[in-house]
Structure 1
Amino acid sequence: MSFNIALSGISAAQKDLNTTANNIANANTTGFKESRAEFADVYANSIFANSKTAVGGGVATSQVAQQFHQGSLLLTNNSLDMAIQGSGFFVTSNEFGTQDYSYTRAGAFKVNADSYVVDAAGNYLQTFPVDSDGNSTSVSLSTTRPVQIPDTAGSPAQTQNVGISMNLNAKDTELDPAAFDPTDSTTYNSVTSMTIYDSLGEPHILTSYFVKPIGGSFTGENNWVAFYAVDGNQVDVAGGAGSYSADLDGDGTALGNTPTLAQTTGGWAGSVLTFNAVGVYTGSSPATITTEALGVSGAGVIGAGADGSQTLTIKFNNPTQYAANFSATELSQDGTTVGRLTNVEIGTDGLILATYSNGSSVPLARVALVRFANEQGLIQVGNTSWKASINSGQAIAGEANSGTFGSITASALEQSNIDLTTELVDLISAQRNFQANSRTLEVNNTLQQTVLQIR
């Protein structure tokens, strides 16, 4: 029996050495979790045996248990690298539509030839679907799906609404709107430009010119004239131009409405902005500033292939008229061109946000995390991955940075949680244990030889 005890000790020591060697071999494996060989004594006793004099039967390996404590983070330059700080596992699948999931802490992800986010083995990262505001529409593991990062962002959309806000200098010289010439900077006081888009996504430059008209400033009211051009070509206000009151005799009292701007400027139909005595915007003439059609039948400033009925509604968002230099504080428009992917960001909550060259930011999906009641019950399947088992319990899905789930750090990887110093000490201990059990086996052999030589 002593032979068997010694052999069990040698087997246990070998298991301990193998476990330690495997830990050391994976000291630089991303997401690797160290293992610990756990042993139990072997003891058997019958009803009529004397338990006081019974000797144990050796040792057996009860479990090689993985230790899931946090590894240190390594910062990288890959925006798709992810590390979990806290509890949770990434979910991967080897094909579309399957629910045969694997779970990993190794977050070294990249895109494949079809722009899907995958790991080094080609397994697809599973994510929760999100709406246009980035809110998850489901957090069920069964609804997760691979995420694809589009190289382009949607279809172009023509500009329909333009927002402008600025300060017009109250100290500017009064000019004659009838003399306005966009090629002569002495005929207008200020100018600002912005990019707009037609229905094909082609960019155009909308330019707004501002003229402080002669006689347009009197007690309680100040007028400014605005003219518009696209790509340097005249664009009139639809339905006729605005008009303004003028104090042409300088007595501080308006004489009445001047002719419309279309008449006074030789065909340029613009709008009029009105401010009160403290420089606050009070309205415009016309009240709704909409341009004529930009196509051939209107201003003729966009190509024949685009939507020629496109018009621009220009809204002045609380402009001011103070005694300060001209400055544009808002230039906004609602059109877009086709965008090319410029950046991918992943938030601490796992939201994957793609940014495109047209200025749009599109929430694509949210990285799914899972946790288990008993992590040590997971089954190792290689590639630093695990499968669920009866002992681990069912996978519980959730969002990062919520509840008991950890947060996600982008452009970082979780390193192995191996402590090489501890492993080398364990290696020496396992070696000593192996030698001691080998010596026990040798002594037992000597005793057997002695018995066999008795005559």
Structure 2
Amino acid sequence: MSFSQGLSGLNAASKALDVVGNNIANSQTSGFKGGSIAFSDMFSGSTGLGVQVAGVKQNFANGGVNFTGRNLDIALQDRGFFRMESEAGGVFYGRNGQFDLDVNGNIINQTNGLFLTGYQATGTPPTIEPGAPVGKIRIPTDDMPPEAASKGSLNGNLKADDKNIITNPFNHDDPATYNYSSQIEATDSLGNKHTIKLYFVQTAEGEWKAYARDETAPDPAGYSELELKFDSSGNIDMPDANINVKGLSLNGSEPLDLNLDLSGITKYSGDSSIKLKEIDGQAPGKYQNFVIGDNGEVVATYSNGKRQTVAQIVLADFPNSGGLSPQGSNLWAESPGSGQPFLGLSGSGSFGSLKGSSLEGSNVDMGQEMVNMIIYQRNYQSNSQTIKTQSELLQTLVNLR
């Protein structure tokens, strides 16, 4: 019996050293989760029969985050796993955030070629619809089509202490008929750029009027105009502060029809300065690149300066992540012990957060592993010594005469 006890100790210590060796070997593997071994004793009645390995559990604590600058590296911190699919439809989960693109623009796991999954934006312009199905994430490289501007807004200030009161009829060609002018650009349905000129005239002390004109394709009907009313605090005081700008068709486009909101303009002392706050519409754009944000959004960038969300990475978690079935290559699969997965987005609910252009390192503590290796080595030596002692005792008994 003593031989079997010592032998069980040798086997247990050997397996423990295997776990330590595996941890050390993967100390530089991105997203690797170190393992720890658990032992239990064996009994027959009241007699101990030795030790056995109860199991090897993985530690899902965070690894350190390292910035790489590569747009297909993604670090995951705290709870959650990347959800990936094989070509055959098998579902796997992992923490290694090293990804690549295949020839079709799908984001794939660098090690296994598994497809990263999430919500794909659809429609024009592309949007992620609530309840969209989870599937492969693909980076579309199509050009961005033009879109006509229909609304925008301005902000800034008109000089309250301007002494120049203008009573002559407005004429955009005569600077003496307006106090201040500004201009913005807007696109039509073909992506042509239209220069919109805005003129501001002080018609009486503290009273202003705005004029707008499409300088690129002017409407023969004339100017758009709007009387501006301010309160005693210098803010716009009118229910509708929109001025409508109309332009003619340019190169076969739809005629421009643009509403500009002037409610952000103030009347304070100081210089006049009016500028564009925001405007919709866009010129056509060539696909340039993409970035993955910390919220898991995949955002494409275009030559026209626009950015567009094309996909959203989904994360998976389990009631008991310790029950996942290891598949090798830093992958796990669902098992009865893990429970069924539930899905969510970065930073929502109990899910952890993503960090783009970064990688999560291994969570192996090399110092602790070296200490464990010494302990298990001593344990191995001690068990071998019990076998040696039992052997010597047996030899003594055999030699008795």
Q: TM-score, normalised by structure 2?
A: 0.81
Q: CA deviation at 1:274?
A: 2.8
Partner residue in 2 for 1:363: 309
Q: How many Å separate the matches in 1 of 2:172 and 2:345?
A: 60
Q: How does 1:355-394 map to 2 (within 5 A)?
A: 355-394=301-340
Q: 1:226: which partner in 2?
A: 211
Q: 1:127 aligns with which of 100, 115, 118?
A: 118
Residue in structure 2 matched with residue 270 of structure 1 by the alignment: 223
Structure 2 residue aligned with 1:257: none
Taking the aligned partners of 1:406 and 1:95, their CA distance within structure 2 comes to: 27
Q: What runs of 5+ residues in structure 2 fail to find an aligned partner?
A: none
Residue type of the partner of 1:230? E
Partner Cα distance (1:434, 1:322) in 2: 85
- 1:107 is paired with a residue whose SS is coil
* Partner SS, residue 364 of structure 1: strand
Deviates more, 1:415-424 or 1:188-197: 188-197
Code of the residue aligned with 1:109 in structure 2: it is F
Q: Deviation of residue 103 (structure 1)?
A: 0.9
Deviations 1:331-365 (A, max 9, x none): 543321223345524234x3444454445443333
Do the aligned partners of 2:199 and 2:211 also contact (CA within 8 Å) in 1? yes
TM-superposed deviation, 1:158:
2.2
Residue identity matched to 1:26: N
Q: Residues 406-425 of structure 1: matches in 2 within 5 Å?
A: 406-425=352-371
Show the counterpart of 1:242: none
Which one-letter code corresponds to 1:114 in the other structure?
Answer: N
The equivalent residue for 1:7 is: 7
TM superposition shift of 1:409: 3.3
Q: Closer, same or farther in 2 for the Cα pair 1:223/1:82, shift >3 Å? A: closer
Structure with higher Rg: it is: 1
Higher strand share: 2
Gaps of 5+ in 1: 46-50, 239-268, 296-301
% same residue: 31
Q: Residues 243 and 261 of structure 2 are in contact (CA less than 8 Å); yes or no, is this contact kept in structure 1?
A: no
Counterparts of 1:73 and 1:414, CA distance in 2: 5
Distance 1:4 1:401, change over 3 A: same
1:315 equivalenced with 2:298 (yes/no): no
In the TM superposition, residue 68 of structure 1 has moved relative to its aligned partner by 1.8
Q: 1:76-123 CA deviation, whole Å, 9 max, x = no partner? A: 323443333322211111227x2x211112223343343322221222
- Residue 113 and residue 176 in structure 1: after superposition, are their counterparts in 2 closer, same or farther (change >3 A)? farther
Work out the CA distance in 1 between the residues paired with 2:364 and 2:279: 55
Q: Give the aligned partner of residue 218 of structure 2.
A: 235
Q: Conserved in 1, the CA contact under 8 Å of 2:246 and 2:258?
A: yes
Letter paired with 1:77: G
Shift of 1:201: 2.0
Distance change (3 Å), C-alpha of 1:223 and 1:112: same
Q: What's the secondary structure of 1:43's corresponding residue?
A: strand
**Deviations for 1:284-312, whole angstroms, at most 9, x for unmatched residues?**
xxx9744352x3xxxxxx33xx32x4133
| 1-structure distance, mates of 2:399, 2:237 | 121
What is the Cα-based RMSD across aligned positions, in Å?
Answer: 3.5
* One-letter amino acid matched to 1:43: F
Alignment correspondent of 1:265? none
**For 2:119 and 2:230, how far apart are their aligned partners in 1?**
56
**Residue matched to 2:67:** 75
Quote the residue 2:130 is aligned against: 137
* Amino acid of the structure 2 residue aligned with 1:333: I
Of 291, 295, 304, the residue aligned with 1:344 is 291
Partner of residue 198, structure 1: 188
C-alpha separation between the residues in 2 aligned to 1:288 and 1:73? 51
One-letter amino acid matched to 2:97: G
Which residue number corresponds to residue 91 of structure 1? 83
Q: Deviations over 1:188-234 (max 9, x none)?
A: 6433222222332233433335566xxx548xx95647363434xx6
CA distance, structure 2, for counterparts of residue 192 and residue 414 of structure 1? 50
- CA 396–441 in structure 1, closer or farther in 2 if over 3 Å, else same: same
Is the 1:116–1:149 Cα contact (8 Å) retained in structure 2?
yes
How far the C-alpha of 1:128 sits from its partner, in A, is 3.6
Q: Taking structure 1 as reference, are residues 4 and 180 closer, same or farther at Cα in structure 2, changes over 3 Å only? A: closer
Deviation at 1:152, TM superposition (A): 4.6
- Residue 166 of structure 1 and its aligned partner are, at CA, apart by 5.1
What secondary structure does 1:363 align onto? strand
Total equivalences in the alignment: 389
Partner SS, residue 319 of structure 2: coil
Q: Distance in 2 between matches of 1:374 and 1:144?
A: 22
Q: Structure 1 residues 452 and 337, CA, compared in 2 at 3 Å: closer, same or farther?
A: same
Q: Equivalents in 1 of 2:290, 2:167: separation in Å?
A: 48
Structural mapping, 1:274-353, within 5 Å: 274-275=227-228, 289-293=244-248, 295=249, 302-303=250-251, 306-307=252-253, 309-315=254-260, 317-318=262-263, 319=265, 324-330=270-276, 332-339=278-285, 340-341=287-288, 343-348=290-295, 350-353=296-299
What's the TM-score, normalizing by structure 1? 0.73
